Amino acid sequence: MDYFLTDKQKMIKNLARRIAEEKIKPKRAELDEKEEFPWELMDILAKSDLFGLIIPTEYGGFGGGCFENCLAVEELGRACIGVATTFAASGLGAYPILFYGTEEQKRKYLPEIASGRKLAAFALTESSAGSDAAGIQTQATSSGDVYILNGTKQWITNGGEAEVYSVIAMTDRTRGARGASAFIVEKGDPGFSFGRKEKKMGIRCSSTRELIFDNCRIPKDRIIGREGMGFIIAMKTFDEARPGIGALSVGLAQGALDEAVRFAKERVQFGKPIISFQAIQHMLADMATLTEAARALVYAVARYIDTRPRDFSKVSAMAKLFPSDVAMKVTTDAVQILGGHGYMRDYPVEKMMRDAKILQIYEGTNQIQRNIIGQALNKEYGKKF
Partner 1 sequence: MEIVVCAKQVPDTESFIKVGPDGKSIDTTGIKWVLNFFDESGVEEALRIKEKVGGTITVLSVGPQRTVEALRQGMAMGADKSILVDDPTAEGSDPAGIAKILAAVIKGIPHDIIFCGFRTTDDESSQVGLMLAEQLGIPHLPPAIKLEISGDQKAVKVESGVEGGMLTLEAPLPAVITVGRGLNEPRMASLPGIMKAKKKPIDTKKLADLGIDPATVGAAAAKVKIQNMTLPPERKAGQIIEGASVQEKAAKLAQLFKEEVKIL
Please choose which of partner 1, ligand FAD, none residue 18 contacts, taking the beta carbon within 5 to 8 angstroms, the exact cut-off set by kind: partner 1
Of positions 35, 49, 227, 292, contacts partner 1 by CB under 8 A: 49
- The smaller minimum CB distance to partner 1, of residues 271 and 382, is found at 271
Of positions 31, 32, 42, 52, contacts partner 1 by CB under 8 A: 52
CA distance linking residue 230 with residue 98, whole number of Å: 14
- The smaller minimum CB distance to ligand FAD, of residues 206 and 291, is found at 206
Of positions 33, 34, 39, 47, contacts partner 1 by CB under 8 A: 47
15 touching partner 1, by CB under 8 A: yes
Question: From residue 61 to residue 90, what is the string marking binding to partner 1 with x (rule CB under 8 A)?
Answer: -x----------------------------
Segment (H or E) for 42:
helix 39-47
Q: How far is CA 327 from CA 81, 144, 256, in A?
A: 11, 50, 9
The amino acid at residue 382 is G
Positions touching ligand FAD (CB under 6 A) are 89, 121-125, 130-131, 155-157, 200, 208, 358, 361-365, 367-368, 371
* Burial letters 34-51, b for 16+ CB under 10 A, else e: ebebbeebbebbbebbbb
Q: Angle, nearest 10°, between helix axes 230-266 and 66-79?
A: 40
296 touching partner 1, by CB under 8 A: no
- The smaller minimum CB distance to partner 1, of residues 15 and 232, is found at 15
CA 152 to chain centre: 21
Question: Active-site residues: which are they?
Answer: 363
Least Å distance, CB 362 to ligand FAD, is 4
Stretch that binds partner 1, among 17-25, 27-35, 99-107, 140-148 (CB under 8 A): 17-25
E-state strands within the chain = 120-123, 139-143, 146-157, 164-170, 180-186, 192-197, 208-219, 223-224, 268-269, 272-273
117 touching partner 1, by CB under 8 A: no
- The smaller minimum CB distance to ligand FAD, of residues 183 and 347, is found at 183
Q: Select from 207, 200, 192 the least CA-distant residue to 152.
A: 192
CB 352 within 8 Å of CB 334? yes
What residues numbered 250-289 form the site for partner 1, per CB under 8 A? none
Cα separation of the two ends of the chain: 39
23 touching partner 1, by CB under 8 A: yes
12 touching partner 1, by CB under 8 A: yes
Least Å distance, CB 201 to ligand FAD, is 9
CA distance linking residue 242 with residue 104, whole number of Å: 27
CA distance linking residue 295 with residue 58, whole number of Å: 31
What residues numbered 221-250 form the site for partner 1, per CB under 8 A? none
- The smaller minimum CB distance to partner 1, of residues 110 and 315, is found at 110
Please choose which of ligand FAD, partner 1, none residue 361 contacts, taking the beta carbon within 5 to 8 angstroms, the exact cut-off set by kind: ligand FAD
48 touching partner 1, by CB under 8 A: yes
Stretch that binds partner 1, among 49-57, 96-104, 124-132, 198-206 (CB under 8 A): 49-57
18 touching partner 1, by CB under 8 A: yes
- The smaller minimum CB distance to ligand FAD, of residues 150 and 276, is found at 150
| Residue 2 DSSP label | -
Please choose which of ligand FAD, partner 1, none residue 23 contacts, taking the beta carbon within 5 to 8 angstroms, the exact cut-off set by kind: partner 1
> Exposed (0-12), middle (13-18) or buried (19+): which is 242, by Cβ within 10 Å?
buried
Strands 180-186 and 164-170: antiparallel
CB 331 within 8 Å of CB 356? yes
- The smaller minimum CB distance to ligand FAD, of residues 212 and 337, is found at 212
CA distance linking residue 153 with residue 195, whole number of Å: 9
* Residues at the site binding partner 1, with contacts judged by CB under 8 A: 8, 11-12, 15, 18-19, 23, 44, 47-50, 52-53, 62
